[in-house]
Chains A and B, each alone.
Chain A
Amino acid sequence: MRLPRALPVTSIGLSILLLSFAAPAQKRRPAKARPAVRPPVVSEINTEALIALLKRESDKPLLVNFWATWCDPCREEFPDLVKIDAEYRRQGLDFVTVSLDDPPDIKTRVPKFLQQMKATMPAYLLVASDPEPAITAVDPKWQGDLPATILYTSKGEIAYKHFGRLNPGELRQAIDKLISK
């Protein structure tokens, strides 16, 4: 606020002086804003590997989010998922995302979106000519509607599931129940 008021009364010399201060500040800013993470690597996953992932043996609960860049509610809820990952990963939650975009998108729009979101959880893209076995393996009652967020216990049982846009409070409650056990 002070700067615009001061400007009309400054001499050209003072303007140059101000600019000389402003220049290094501008240089510093991009360095600060530079994302700390590289473009995320998105790995292909087939149906068998997905099933193995869901049934893995671990001492940690697993959260899986199925999404696609073409899905509006998926994109809208993603910042909440990134926050949840940041909050709960150090408390012992494993979190992976599975994109249902087309295979060529694995090197383009999928990592681009994940980078924009500053998402660091392991990211997969399902490669399956027939999506049905994967959908049924995740949950026989799931019709394939996106987004879908499923929380598995460390034993691979479904503790919580939500189809459609996420309710972050509800998901946090479900994670808290598993983490505090």
Chain B
Amino acid sequence: MKKSRFINKSEEQRYQKLQELKVYKQRSRKSRRFVQHNPLNDTFYFSYGRRFQSALTKLFFSKSFIDKQHVSKSILAPRNCTFQNNYDGTILFIKKVASSMAFTYRNITIDFSKCSTTNLAPMFFIQILVFENKEFMHMYNLGSYTQINRELNIIPSKSLKVNKILNALDLIKGMPNKNMSEEDLYLPLGIKVGAKARRLIYENKKGAVCSSITKFVNESLMGIRYSLNPTGRFKLDNIIAEILGNAEDHSQINRWYVNGVSFKTGEDQMVVVELNLCIINFGYSIYEGFEDNKDKNPVIYQKLNDAYEKYRENNNKMGFLEQPLPIEPMFTIFALQEGISRLKYQNQSRGNGTMNFLRAFFDLGSLGDEFPKYKPTISIFSGKTSLNCSNKYKPVNKDGLWVLALNTESNLIGHQDTECIKYSYEYIPGTILQVSVFLNEDFFRKLTGTNE
């Protein structure tokens, strides 16, 4: 039997206690040393910060939207920072901002000095990143000895309109160009964030957000001395609620985001209010949603696939100069039609929200029918597809069902106007809906016959 080195049991216990104390001291010294001497670095920031990362950052990471190769201290916004005309460049710019926020704790400079054109959607995307980053920093600082206090320096643009958008979205404080006339005013809605995971019916937040959007539209109309009457207000409530419901249903993370800004501009001796609204949900693109669910949703998927085959056959037969569009943008067009939903297997009664919204939007923006300069636009950016629809093509009723195709014949298998639908290299993990309508006093007087 092995002989013990201790005289008695109490000495052994004392020795064990001393050993524990030693280990404890070592450990505590080690952790102190770690805190004191290991300065915050990007590797530590990223690995430690993962536990506080928002669902959005995790989603971006899983979809390879953010990557270390895009990290930069100073990010230059492209000259044309719009999804409509520079889809790839704008997404790459956003990727750089998102990656720099996720992979480094350092200050970031976003330089808009060369940017001359932008609109609500990309700037709102940046605002969401800033919003999520603020939440992340708060959580990180609560749970860590190493405090981070990243500053975002935004260099304003030389363009008044770009600065107005940046200012309206709280990305810059104050306007660098002070000489603004009364007609250069703008009205922001402010970021609205909705959550899907509501357990009880009275926790439904969409109605309250709808009311604030309607209030925003009403205040925008006051710029041209008009206001929505109760009927108009409630009609708008109905449309917005429908599209928010859609965003909520298709969001992969438990959040959807809404923002808006309206500009009062005066050109051609006519005061016009430009009303912009943007709704973003992250997760699947429209096409991805169908692909991902094709086993669960075989009937609708087959219908879309057959429709695409018919479109391709028809386009090859007609001998158009342009190649038929790839499957993704065509699925996006098909998905807008009534009764088409990627979640049809869960509930048969799905797939009408977007078409309801499109119809209502074209009614509201009918000023563009008279003045081509003020044509309303509705854009859907999803995955690699950018769909920009003006009043050139409107939904038509075919046997009690509303159909929207991007040609004058409203033919879904006919040649689609490639000015309106584009397929790009870069990819958005989710769907962005942007609406822009122009409102004018004369137009409303003609429409209503009154001042309401």
Q: Do A and B come from one complex?
A: no
